[in-house]
Structures are given as C-alpha cells and as structure tokens.
Amino acid sequence: MKAGFVALVGRPNVGKSTLLNHLVGQKISITSRRPQTTRHRIHGIKTTEAGQAVYVDTPGIHASEKRAMNRYLNKTAGSALGDVDLVVWLIDRAGWLPEDELVLKRIKAAGVPVILAINKIDRLEDKDALLPFLQQAAASHNFAAMIPFSALKGTNLETLDRTIMDLLPEGDPIFPEDQVTDRSMRFMAAEIVREKLLRALGQEVPHAITVEIEQFRQDGALTRISALIWVERPGQKAIVIGKQGEVLKKVGERARHDLERMLEGKVFLQLWVKVKEGWSDDERALRSLGYAD
C-alpha cells in the first residue's frame, strides 16, 4: 500500500480546489473565480485499493505581503510544503507569471518530488502551443512528471491520479478509510456560506468577507445553523443584503441546498450580516475569526 501527503500549490485561481474536489470525488474545498477563495489549509483524503493520498489544499501564494491576511495566506501555503511527500504544482495553460517564479522558489527549497500539472487545457485550442512552455518548464526544474489536464472537465485526471499514487511512498493509511476530510462539519458549513457569497457578489466585497458559525445544533432530524457574515464597512453590508434582501436570500437558498446534501438531512439556516471595521488587516481580529496557525 502507498500512503502520503500531497500538497496542491500554485498561484491563486489556477484550480487547486477544483482539482482537490475532483480527485476526492466530493466537495471538500470551496471554489470561485475570486482570489482568496481558499484561506485555510484543508485536507481531502482519498483511499483506494492502491493506497491513501492525503491532499493538502492551500491558499495560493500571494506576491504582495502588505496586508495581514496575505501574510497569513502565504504562511499557510508555505508551511504546507514543509512535511509532504509530494507536491503537485498547478499552473495555468496561459503561461508563466512572476508569481509562478515565487512558487517555484519555495518548491525547490522543500526538496520533494514535484509534478508539474498544467490546468485548464479545455481552454486551449491548439495543444501544440504547450510545447515551448513545457520545454521552458523542464529546463527550470527536474520535475517527476509534467501533466497537462483539466480539473473542470476531468481531462487526463486519471493519469494525474495514477502518477500521484506511483510517486507516494509505501505505507499504511494515515486516516480511517471512510474519512474524506480533516475539517469539522461546522467549518465546512462556514465555507459553503462563504462560497455562495463569493459567487453572488461583485469585485468590491469578497476580500472583506468572513463567515462565523454561531450555532450548529441537531434538533431531531433538522440541523439548525446560524451564521454571522462579517464585512468591513456599512456599504458592504448593504451590498451583501441586496435590494429587499434578495442577495442574502439567494445566498441562503444555495448554501442550504449544499448543506442539506453534505449533511444528508434538512437544514434550517439563518444568516446575519455584521460590520467589523478593518478585520482583514488586523492580526488580532484575524485570530478571533479563526485565522490562526
């Protein structure tokens, strides 16, 4: 049997969380087009006859460390590289950016085998266009494998899956076979609400949003969940609520739908919006909202 930890790294928005969900075959990590969708380190566990891969989803590595939130995200992404057996480095088929150099530097320092995984090839019309890029990549590091794929469409996922298992060390399963994540239902609930918010809102708000679960209680067959949505300014609160509450209503309906699927039962979900000024640039506020090491 094979067993080990696999870090999914790369700059924001390359598709790390989408890949994790497809590899594990279940929604573990939230995804959206917005940067900073993944803020925490999350394990997604996949057990097959061949062995167990424990995927570590990470926030993207951010070029700027000016804000406390970005420093937190980089620390989380960087520390994930510390004790893994394998790294899957995702890049976008669109090419190599300065942020990618930054990731490569950290990967080299970690000194573990690296699979270079080129995502979003469904958007690529001419597959030959990848060749010069692959050559450039091969010259910059001795990769264990280079695999073009699409996390969204599933193209080449089997190859990626098999290569990952091949490269893992021999060992006994680290987690029980039926476990798919290391995170609590409470944590997952907060993340699902945040995902629906990110997807429903425009550019201006997402950075300023966090979700705190105030109540998570079993009431017979019903799960009662009450969530606080924190924003930084009164104007953002108005945007999150929407005209006659329509944005918040839509977010609540979508979140409840996902929660009921995850919990396999009825959910009563209440959402509240509150303002806490400057929380994303305040180390103490970050800690009190669960962004701690």
Q: How far is the CB of 170 from ligand GDP (least distance, A)?
A: 30
Task: Output the smallest distance, CB 41 to Mg ion, in A.
Answer: 11
267-275: strand order across its sheet? 210-219, 222-231, 267-275
Q: Which of 77, 103, 147, 151 binds ligand GDP (CB under 6 A)?
A: 151
State how far the Cα of 229 lies from the Cα of 195, in Å rounded to an integer.
Answer: 12
- Which residue from 158, 167, 118 is spatially nearest to 25, judged by alpha carbons? 158
Near ligand GDP by CB under 6 A: residue from 17, 76, 163, 210: 17
Report how far apart, in Å, the C-alpha atoms of 49 and of each of 26, 44, 174, 177 are: 18, 17, 14, 10
Binding-site ranges for Mg ion (CB under 5 A): 16-17, 38
Using CB under 6 A, which of the segments 107-115, 124-132, 150-158, 281-289 binds ligand GDP? 150-158
Phi, psi of 17, deg, nearest 5? -70, -35
**Shortest separation between residue 35's beta carbon and ligand GDP, angstroms:** 7
State yes or no: residue 14 binds ligand GDP (CB under 6 A).
yes
Q: Which is closer to ligand GDP, CB of 10 or CB of 44?
A: 10
Q: Contact, 233 vs 209, CB < 8 A?
A: no
Element (H, E) at 227: strand 222-231
Q: Distance between CA 182 and CA 46 in Å, rounded?
A: 12
With contacts defined by CB under 6 A, name the span among 11-19, 134-142, 241-249, 279-287 that binds ligand GDP. 11-19
Task: Report the partner that residue 206 touches, choosing among Mg ion, ligand GDP, none (CB closer than 5 to 8 A by kind).
Answer: none
By residue count, the chain amounts to 293
Q: Is 180 in the site for ligand GDP (CB under 6 A)?
A: no
- Whether the CB-CB separation of 232 and 278 falls below 8 Å is answered with yes
Q: Looking at beta carbons only, is 16 or 196 nearer to Mg ion?
A: 16
- Identify the residue among 31, 52, 156, 181 touching ligand GDP (CB under 6 A): 31
Cβ proximity to Mg ion, 17 vs 236, nearer residue: 17
Closest residue (Cβ) to Mg ion?
A: 38
Residue 198 CB, nearest distance to ligand GDP (Å)? Answer: 9
Size of the site for ligand GDP (CB under 6 A): 22
Q: How many CB atoms within 10 Å of residue 277?
A: 12
Cβ of residue 73: shortest distance to ligand GDP, in angstroms?
11
Calpha distance 28→191 (Å, rounded) = 10
Q: Does 150 contact ligand GDP by CB under 6 A?
A: yes
Q: Where are the beta strands (DSSP E) in 149-221?
A: 210-219
Write the CB contacts of 172 (distance below 8 Å, at least 6 apart in sequence). Answer: 1, 3
Instruction: Give the interface with ligand GDP as residue ranges (CB under 6 A).
Output: 10, 12-18, 31-33, 37-38, 60, 119-120, 122-123, 150-153
